[in-house]
Amino acid sequence: MNYIIGVDSGGTKTEATAFSLEGEPLEQCITGFGNPLVDYDIAVRNIKKALQTIFSACGKDCKLVVIGLAGVDSSGQKERLESEFSFLKVPIMLINDGKLAHLSILKGKEGILAISGTGSLVLGYQTSQWLRVGGWGHLLGDEGSAYDIAKKAIQRVLFEEDSGQTYSELSVSIMNYLQVTDVLSLVKIAYQLNKGEFSKLAAVVGKLSTTNELARGILIKSAEDLAKQTIILINKMGNPQKRISIGINGSVIEKNQLFRKAFFTYLSDNNVKVQECEKTEPTTKGAYYLFKEGWQNK
Amino acid sequence: MNYIIGVDSGGTKTEATAFSLEGEPLEQCITGFGNPLVDYDIAVRNIKKALQTIFSACGKDCKLVVIGLAGVDSSGQKERLESEFSFLKVPIMLINDGKLAHLSILKGKEGILAISGTGSLVLGYQTSQWLRVGGWGHLLGDEGSAYDIAKKAIQRVLFEEDSGQTYSELSVSIMNYLQVTDVLSLVKIAYQLNKGEFSKLAAVVGKLSTTNELARGILIKSAEDLAKQTIILINKMGNPQKRISIGINGSVIEKNQLFRKAFFTYLSDNNVKVQECEKTEPTTKGAYYLFKEGWQNK
């Protein structure tokens, strides 16, 4: 039977799912991490293993494999990765993981996906074209991400130190979480943490935000920064008066209600007519929608 | 004859100078880089070599050695470094390089030193106490530094890309300087550059600023951010109505007239009464002023 495969390759696991041409899930395989930026050889091996398991179960009539991978547009590894899978003798598309999520959540239709996890990105799809705003990484952008929230929280501690204030409840929570008692140690640790560890501080802010005004303010500011980028994208897409489908993806915006509400409130306060799209299917199903919408033209 | 030694240990050279107790320079020795964060062993060797050269020339009556070192407060290496020089059997003080510059430029008196080079810091000295604002490094602070200016310039390119604008003259200059033609390559290179290389982009902004409004705007914004930190420090020091001595140090604020003017204009626009202190002596002379003002109490 004819089928297509979607692969969601992440930093912790690789999920491959086969879908019938009617969009029904047929087979699924989960292997280890599939991000080549973490370890190229192991990631490729995990993706291959997942694909071969599906092929064994579903047979030779695979029409398309779509692999969603973080940073594939900018890593310079796209061609090398494509050649890794060419032995499979089926059409392979490697796309940014955000695009796969967009296709899945918006079901292949036009609209915007606002992503806020460790990093952030606003991704638009219109007249078979992809458009983006933000997502330039932790040094240059990623406004409205967990990293951004964590950074704002540490900068608040430093501001209180700089201005000679008593530490606020937020600052005390940040310092307790990192098990430090002075800002020099705080800064030293902050520079030693990797991006993922650093971003976990956002959870401290999220937890406090129900009762603490400073934490609440940081979350709202971050959500509004993401909304501002969404408005830049809407303007770039033209026709800002039109009702626009907007989906959301990523731990921060999916799980933090305050952040999510502040994001959509800012949009409606700025006259954006929103059609909210709920996430109802696995990310891998983006491959099915891409096939259905005519992947050959992308 | 009695004398004291000041050592300015930098990332490219180590400069040691002996001063008489009247502040006259007696002997000078320049060796290689003296920043232990670059290479601990070589830095220590270069500092020792400089000190021993001075000792050989000036004899045994050295009363104090003051070594100014970047990041010595936060590196966790202070005690280890002090023990490296203990065999010299003279009192040794290891202080932050900013403090040595403050002592030299403000001649040991109370006031503020605003530093803007690759990084930034505002440093105050009052009633024998040091106070600081900012200087938390490129991820968390360093507002008004070359790094900050470079980052703002790249973010301007990304904003133009995000909003679908034609690249401005500033963006074209940045991309030409980095020899790239698209923003994905620009971002990739930006993440590969080290802090020093990244910060060199500030010179592109500086060069353009005489004719280009965007470049001018970035420099002024950065200078005002440094001035805002200075005002936070002034408030922390109490008595903000008092005329305050302010010196400047670092390539950005010393060499860029527009930046320097914007810095002092912002202060006077915000009712700060400034006594500008010119840099008239080498940084190493900070050691002499520290001795004169009673270093034992610091």
Look at residues B26, B38, B33, B71 and name the one whose alpha carbon lies nearest to residue B50.
B33
Q: Residue A76 and residue B188: Cβ atoms within 8 Å?
A: yes
pLDDT band of A296, cuts 50, 70, 90: low
pLDDT for the residue B29: 95
Q: Does the beta carbon of B2 lie under 8 angstroms from any beta carbon of chain A?
A: no
CB–CB of A157/A174 below 8 Å? yes
Distance CA A48, CA A50 (A): 5
Compute how many other C-beta atoms are within 10 angstroms of the C-beta atom of residue A196. 11
Q: Which residues of B touch A136 (CB under 8 A)?
A: 155, 158, 187
The CATH number assigned to the domain holding B28 equals 3.30.420.40
Q: Residue A133 and residue B235: Cβ atoms within 8 Å?
A: no
Average pLDDT of the segment spanning A86-114:
93
Q: Which residues of A touch B72 (CB under 8 A)?
A: none
Same domain, A47 and A97: yes
Considering only CB atoms, B184 lies closest to which of A73, A162, A164, namely: A73
Distance CA A45, CA A281 (A): 26
pLDDT in tens, B93-107: 999 999 999 999 999
Same domain, B184 and B211: yes
pLDDT for the residue B295: 65
Same domain, A129 and A275: yes
pLDDT for the residue A291: 93
Q: Which residues of B touch A133 (CB under 8 A)?
A: 162-163
Distance CA B285, CA B79 (A): 24
Structure tokens that stand for B80 in this block: 């280890």
Average pLDDT of chain A to the nearest whole number: 92
Q: Which of residues 226-255 of B touch A (CB under 8 A)?
A: 229, 232-233, 235-236
ipTM: 0.86
pLDDT band of B240, cuts 50, 70, 90: confident
Q: Which chain B residue lies closest to A131 (C-alpha atoms)?
A: B162
What are the residues facing B116 on neighbouring strands? Answer: B120
Same domain, A275 and A286: no
Q: Does the beta carbon of A107 lie under 8 angstroms from any beta carbon of chain B?
A: no
Considering only CB atoms, A141 lies closest to which of B76, B140, B158, namely: B158
Q: Which of residues 137-156 of B touch A (CB under 8 A)?
A: 137, 139-141, 151, 154-155
Considering only CB atoms, B74 lies closest to which of A133, A134, A188, namely: A188
Same domain, B273 and B135: yes
Query: Residue B71 pLDDT more than 80?
Result: no
Helix axes B213-237, B146-162, angle to 10 degrees: 130
Same domain, B209 and B256: yes
pLDDT-wise least confident of A3-17, A97-111, A267-281, B77-91: B77-91
Structure tokens that stand for A230 in this block: 């969404």
Q: Residue A162 and residue B232: Cβ atoms within 8 Å?
A: yes
Query: Residue B175 pLDDT more than 90?
Result: yes
Size of the A and B interface in Cβ pairs below 8 Å = 67
Q: Which chain A residue lies closest to B185 (C-alpha atoms)?
A: A74
Q: Does the beta carbon of A188 lie under 8 angstroms from any beta carbon of chain B?
A: yes
| Containing structural domain, residue B161 | 109-278
SS3 B39: coil
Same domain, A146 and A271: yes
| Tokens 């059609």, located at residue | A275
Average pLDDT of the segment spanning A184-188:
90
By CB neighbour count within 10 A (0-12 exposed, 13-18 middle, 19+ buried), where does A232 fall?
middle
Q: Which residues of A197-210 are buried (b: 16+ CB within 10 A; e: fewer)?
A: ebbebbbbbbebbe
Query: Residue A31 pLDDT more than 60?
Result: yes
Alpha carbon of A85 to those of A62, A88, A98, A116: distances in Å? 14, 6, 21, 30
Q: Which residues of B touch A76 (CB under 8 A)?
A: 188
Query: Residue A71 pLDDT more than 80?
Result: no
pLDDT band of B289, cuts 50, 70, 90: very high
Q: Which residues of B touch A188 (CB under 8 A)?
A: 74, 76
pLDDT for the residue B241: 85
Distance CA A207, CA A201 (A): 10
CB–CB of B253/B259 below 8 Å? yes
Q: Which residues of A touch B233 (CB under 8 A)?
A: 162
Query: Residue B226 pLDDT more than 90?
Result: yes
Q: What does residue B28 show for φ and ψ, rounded to 5 degrees?
A: -135, 145
pLDDT in tens, A132-176: 999 898 899 899 999 999 999 999 999 999 999 999 999 999 999
Q: Which residues of A touch B123 (CB under 8 A)?
A: none
Q: Give the long-range contacts of residues B167-176, CB within 8 A, separation 24 or more.
A: B168/B214, B169/B208, B169/B212, B169/B214, B170/B205, B170/B208, B170/B212, B170/B214, B170/B215, B170/B218, B173/B204, B173/B208, B174/B201, B174/B204
Considering only CB atoms, B151 lies closest to which of A134, A140, A235, namely: A140
pLDDT for the residue A241: 85
Q: Which chain A residue lies closest to B74 (C-alpha atoms)?
A: A184
SS3 B90: coil
Give the minimum alpha-carbon distance from A229 to chain B in angstroms, rounded to a whole number: 8
Q: Residue A162 and residue B191: Cβ atoms within 8 Å?
A: no
pLDDT for the residue B141: 84
Q: Which residues of B touch A190 (CB under 8 A)?
A: 139-140
Q: Which chain B residue lies closest to A187 (C-alpha atoms)?
A: B136
Same domain, B141 and B245: yes
pLDDT for the residue A298: 54
Q: Residue B141 and residue A155: Cβ atoms within 8 Å?
A: yes
CB–CB of A167/A154 below 8 Å? no
Same domain, A179 and A62: no
What are the residues facing A115 on neighbouring strands? Answer: A121, A249
Same domain, A125 and A195: yes
Q: Residue B73 and residue A184: Cβ atoms within 8 Å?
A: yes
pLDDT band of A9, cuts 50, 70, 90: very high
Same domain, A139 and A260: yes
Tell me what percent of the residues of chain B surpass a pLDDT of 90: 79
Q: Residue B155 and residue A141: Cβ atoms within 8 Å?
A: yes
Structure tokens that stand for B169 in this block: 């003259």
Q: Residue B155 and residue A134: Cβ atoms within 8 Å?
A: no
What are the residues facing B67 on neighbouring strands? Answer: B7, B94
Look at residues A11, A10, A6, A12 and name the one whose alpha carbon lies nearest to residue A29.
A6
pLDDT for the residue A86: 86
CB–CB of B144/B122 below 8 Å? no
> How many domains is chain A built from?
2
Strands B14-20 and A129-133: unpaired
Spatial CB neighbours of A249, under 8 Å, sequence gap ≥ 6: A98, A101, A102, A105, A113, A114, A115, A116, A117, A279
pLDDT for the residue B239: 82
Compute how many other C-beta atoms are within 10 angstroms of the C-beta atom of residue B74. 18
Tell me what percent of the residues of chain A surpass a pLDDT of 90: 79
Same domain, B99 and B141: no
Query: Residue B270 pLDDT more than 80?
Result: yes
Query: Of all residues in chain A, what percent are helix, strand and coil, respectively (each to 5)?
Result: 50, 20, 30
pLDDT-wise least confident of A29-38, A115-124, B216-225: A29-38
